[in-house]
Copies of this chain bind each other. A is one copy, B any other.
């Protein structure tokens, strides 16, 4: 079941709430190639890097006071001649998994990237064991362009493949 989700640009005040979303994902180390021991500062410096445009997803249920349950960043995947292709990273709060938050953020990012003039979106490193994410991105129009063999050391499953996924806008 999907839940009402409101997506808005992040502000400087959202740091604590964003970290609450990022921390369990980074600590688990199963879905992003990021250091599992990152501090809050390191994680937020990465997520809110100058070249990243950051959004937060708030629970639309009134009784939850708009709690932040997800966040994503949008950036150009390359500079120079590659700057017309966007890239995003998405994370959902542990308690909000399976409620359509990632899909809502992805759809928002596709629309926003197109409005900013990007002509395609590329995911560089979708870990193949994260099957729910792979299926979700496919349902959002992304195609698998490559399987990178054994490029991710999964903390529970050992060497895992990562996928390059792509769609035009």
A50: CB under 8 A from chain B? no
Contact flags A115-152 to B (C-beta < 8 A → 1, else 0): 00001101011010000000000000000011111111
Distance of A157 from chain B, by nearest CB (Å): 10
Distance of A89 from chain B, by nearest CB (Å): 12
Interface size on A, residues (CB 8 A): 35
A108: CB under 8 A from chain B? no
| In the complex, chain B residues whose CB is within 8 Å of the CB of A35 | 79-80
A73 to B29, CA, bound (A): 27
Q: Is the CB of B120 within 8 A of A151?
A: yes
A150 to B118, CA, bound (A): 12
A72: CB under 8 A from chain B? no
**Interface of A with B (CB < 8 Å)?**
29, 32-36, 77-85, 119-120, 122, 124-125, 127, 145-155, 162, 164, 166
Give 6 A-B pairs besides A120-B150, A122-B148 with Cβ atoms closer than 8 angstroms.
Answer: A33-B82, A36-B80, A78-B125, A82-B125, A146-B146, A164-B164
